[in-house]
Structure 1
Amino acid sequence: MSATGDTTTPLTVMLGNHPHTRALKDGTVPVEGVECRYPESTPLPPAFARMVRELAYDICEMPLATYLQAREAGVPVTLLPVVLVGSTHHRALTRLPESPRIAPGDLVGRRVGVRAYGQTTGLWVRGWLQEEYGVKASDVTWVTTEDVHVAQYVNPSYVERSQAGRVVDLLRSHDVSAAVLGPKAVGGQGAGLVPLVPDAEAAGLAWTERHGTVPANHLLVVRDDVLHRAPDAVRAVHRALAQAIEATAGERDDSPAGRAVAAGWSDSLTACLEIGARYALEQGLIREPVDVTAIEEKTAFLDT
């Protein structure tokens, strides 16, 4: 990749509000030589759909599962090596506190709620369900409250669309036995719900030790035309995010969520992508294996 390119055209950069992204938005960490515009989306997920359906932004935060599906659908975006949000997800599989106790292995033949079948938290939960309990994605009926971001994707036959407003409503109406909630929802609509895994934090840590990585939820993508037209500008954004992540390190603890946030290619990120891609293939989120090396090669120049 050439180190030349247009750095004068403003870049539209869609980022969620995290400590390491606010530093860019408020100018504490400047993007040297590049004018960036930071639109807002509250909530953030609709911006993911706009990116993969309309290429609405030059650079955009994006969930891992959405990226994998968009890549297979031919959406012209390239993954940038920045993990903006990540954590373990054994605590994400929940039930009502007053409902009968069930173990993850008891979910075969049952109904489980999830925001969308393509939600990245669901990807990771289904991954450890199969890996640790032998429960395949197709063993469960997944009841969703939203569509996937990538319009070209068609849900498997074992996915059902509900008209319920929120995932927690599926639980409260007893339409499902358990529900998958994303990191923010666990402490929001999911307050008071009980994890199916008794010691979810320890189980999550065991997963990270076994695999040598922390599951990534949100990474970063750039439109291919922007990457080819202005590689220097893309490099500058990547460099600024790396600086902001380093500058805000003191605001993160040593939990998996704190350790997940990182910039640059690493063995941990490679392992994360390989495992996530394998899970996605097993679950029918994608149909073809993913060549992670090819993904890395497209943006290896960012680390030089």
Structure 2
Amino acid sequence: MSKKLALTLACGDYEIVRALKEGTVQPDGIELTIITTMDSSTRHWRFLRNREFDVAEVSSSSYLLARDQGLPFAGIPVFLHRRFRHGFAFVNTSKGINEPKDLIGRRIGVKSFQVSAILWLRGILEHEYGVPHKSIEWVTEIDEDVEFTPPEGLRLSRMRHDQTCEELLVAGELDAVLHADLIWPMVERHPAVKRLWPDYKNEELAYFRKTGIFPIMHVTGIKQEIVDKYPWVPVELMKAFEAAKAVAMKRMENPRIVPLAWYREAWEEQEEVLGRDPWQYGMTDSNRHTLETLIGYSFEQGLIKRKMGLEELFLDVNQGRKRGTNRI
């Protein structure tokens, strides 16, 4: 029996990786141990700081910092997590904040400054709504995935260990919070908190129609030592991720598997607006535009010192024209 290369993969427990996790799809020559139970920020820390996994879904923002600082990682153009972000800006209802420009001069809480969701929101606020990121006092809750020196003119501080963004927002000690997830005051409909954009879905639709961007939150990182020793691994992983996604999309077309009354209508709406495969992997024109926008935001906000090219950031997983389709 031929021996397979044993690798660890840490990622979210997504439908698009279910076939990999269950073993329905297996990368050729690789035996994967897949870890899916940890939260995103813990996974990013453990991969970028401690290098505990061979391959990992990782914050796109933190990955850019890691590469900018010369850390030994490479990227595979597999993007397991995307999300529009307008629905994740929350404000205290007593602060008179009714439109984006009301945020200028305010005190805004974030989990960490580097979080990809927050990088996207700062860029969107600045470029689409005229809210300069340096006009805000930023207050972080946790330490960063990758240490960095804040640029001159950036007001950045950290709250006490016993404080949280959500609690300070409810108490009015923060004017707003930008977050990667729904916060508990919104889930519990606390009267002190509302969304900055109440009609956030239409804001997101308008943003997509204007920019063509469905924001990429996470990329897939791999230890450089794996690439150096086994240069064939990224291509085989790419093929496996694509195959797993194809299985998931075929399964998800069936409205019976999801307990939502209008699920099929939502599926059809997504296809009409975003196209047949809004979760596309690889260096497509759309993905290039999205990633280059993110790199521009990161450079503009002082997280990275130079704008890196996509060919520098991501491995070439192209197998050649008309190759990789099992043709003889």
2:156 corresponds in structure 1 to: 159
The number of residue pairs the alignment matches comes to 295
Deviation at 1:283, TM superposition (A): 1.2
Aligned amino acid, residue 137 of structure 2: T
Tell whether the 8 Å contact from 2:134 to 2:155 is kept in structure 1 after alignment. Answer: yes
User: Which of structure 1's runs of 4+ aligned residues deviate more than 4 A?
Assistant: 255-260
Tell whether the 8 Å contact from 1:83 to 1:260 is kept in structure 2 after alignment. Answer: no
Q: Which moved more, 1:107-116 or 1:223-232?
A: 223-232
Structure 1 residues 187-227: Cα deviation after superposition (integer angstroms, max 9, x where no partner):
65642342212422112122222222210011201111111
1:138 corresponds in structure 2 to: 134
SS at match of 2:221: strand
1:262 corresponds in structure 2 to: 280
Tell whether the 8 Å contact from 1:86 to 1:257 is kept in structure 2 after alignment. Answer: no
> Which residues of structure 1 form unaligned runs of 5+?
1-5
Bigger CA radius of gyration:
2
Alignment counterpart, residue 280 of structure 1, candidates 292, 298, 306: 298
SS at match of 1:179: strand
Aligned amino acid, residue 155 of structure 1: P
Structure 2 CA distance for aligned equivalents of residues 61 and 107 of structure 1: 32
**1:80/1:169 CA distance change after superposition, 3 Å:** same
Tell whether the 8 Å contact from 2:234 to 2:317 is kept in structure 1 after alignment. Answer: no
SS at match of 2:18: helix
> Which residues of structure 2 form unaligned runs of 5+?
254-266, 324-328
Tell whether the 8 Å contact from 1:87 to 1:257 is kept in structure 2 after alignment. Answer: no
The question of 1:121 aligning with 2:113 is answered: no
Alignment counterpart, residue 316 of structure 2, candidates 283, 299, 302: 299
Tell whether the 8 Å contact from 1:89 to 1:121 is kept in structure 2 after alignment. Answer: yes
The normalised TM-score by structure 2 is: 0.82
Structure 1 CA distance for aligned equivalents of residues 185 and 41 of structure 2: 16
1:85 corresponds in structure 2 to: 81
1:3 corresponds in structure 2 to: none
Deviation at 1:160, TM superposition (A): 1.1
Aligned amino acid, residue 298 of structure 2: A
Structure 1 residues 208-258: Cα deviation after superposition (integer angstroms, max 9, x where no partner):
222222100112011111112123233222111111111111537317699
Aligned amino acid, residue 154 of structure 1: T
Alignment counterpart, residue 173 of structure 2, candidates 172, 175, 181: 175
The question of 1:194 aligning with 2:191 is answered: no
1:58 corresponds in structure 2 to: 54
Structure 2 CA distance for aligned equivalents of residues 71 and 260 of structure 1: 26
Identity, in percent, stands at 26
Deviation at 1:301, TM superposition (A): 3.1
Alignment of 1:19-34 (within 5 A): 19-34=15-30
**1:292/1:233 CA distance change after superposition, 3 Å:** closer
Aligned amino acid, residue 247 of structure 2: A
Deviation at 1:292, TM superposition (A): 2.1
Structure 2 CA distance for aligned equivalents of residues 128 and 198 of structure 1: 17
Q: Which moved more, 1:205-214 or 1:104-113?
A: 205-214
Deviation at 1:98, TM superposition (A): 5.8
**1:62/1:260 CA distance change after superposition, 3 Å:** farther
Deviation at 1:289, TM superposition (A): 1.5
2:263 corresponds in structure 1 to: none
The normalised TM-score by structure 1 is: 0.89
1:232 corresponds in structure 2 to: 232
Deviation at 1:34, TM superposition (A): 1.0
Structure 2 CA distance for aligned equivalents of residues 85 and 257 of structure 1: 17
